[in-house]
Amino acid sequence: MLYLIGLGLADETDITVKGLDIVKRASRVYLEAYTSILLVEKEKLESFYGRDVILADREMVESSSDEILAGADTSDIAFLVVGDPFGATTHSDLVLRARELNIPTRNIPNASILNAIGATGLQLYNFGQTVSMVFFTETWKPSSFYDRVKENRSIGLHTLILLDIKVKEPTLESLARGKPVYEPPRYMTAAQCASQMLTTEEDRMENVYGSGSLAVAVARLGSNDQKIVAGTLAQISTVDMGKPLHSLILLGNRVHDLEKDFIRNFAVDVHSFDEAWKGLVSKP
């Protein structure tokens, strides 16, 4: 059996009892290490599980899945995923490859950012399509995400933005030489995301979200030191949320007073928050 096991969001203790039991008896244990990260090192997982853990980078999962699936028809293989196993399409692809080889699979779910975001006080029913924000460069500022943000905004729904991470990314120079040299890991901050959203708005000029629009930034959600900050995009673009991982929510106007009361406690500045909220709910 190939087991896809969700680890939750924070540390080694977030795994479910069911998942931990499988990890302890599996023949091999892999940790997917590129779509997201836990807030603890691999060694801490190994100590808690009492097992060696093999890091599975993007190249292994996407190009060398046979290595992961080897022997899974006669023994149990555990594939660990931060959050919930099906939060990334890569893992669906791994399951499809297993099925082609007649290897049975089983999913062990866990908390993900998609449901844990409810800790902000924003109601999950009021979220629209989730989008991703990638790091901009001087010559590349993709804005396809903006169209989905606009669709959500048009029907008053919040938008959860998942932020780019760069793990084991080769430099362009090293690729040209044929010998990859990897850049240090980078994790987009909520401030960078807010700034890039404003840059995109300036380029597209469709008046979807401006500097005075309300947003909520979150960091390390589910951990003991999680941080939540509410404010305008201009304010969020200057806020230091600390260590990764971060996410950003753009507020829609299909809101409830309970949501206001909840997130107001996280406001950078209560007065400016109240003014921005008035502008939010007054929009058609």
Q: Which residues make up each annotated binding site for S-adenosyl-L-methionine?
A: 9, 84, 87, 112-113, 163, 221, 246
Residue 178 DSSP symbol:
T
Where is 49: in which H helix or E strand? helix 42-49
> Could you write out the DSSP letters of every residue in 20-37?
HHHHHH-SEEEEE-SS--
Could you give the 3-state DSSP secondary structure of residue 125?
helix
Tell which residue, 30, 33, 73, 63, has the closest CA to residue 49.
30
* DSSP β-ladder status, 54-56 and 105-108: unpaired
Binding residues: 9, 84, 87, 112-113, 163, 221, 246
Where is 17: in which H helix or E strand? helix 17-25
Residue identified by tokens 């080769």 is 170
- Cβ atoms of residues 30 and 80 within 8 Å: yes
In the numeric block, which tokens belong to residue 160?
């959860």
- Cβ atoms of residues 157 and 128 within 8 Å: yes
What does the chain come to in residues?
284
First to last CA, the chain: 52
Other beta carbons within 10 Å of 99: 12
Strand residue runs (E) in 126-280: 131-133, 159-163, 165-166, 186-187, 214-219, 227-232, 246-250
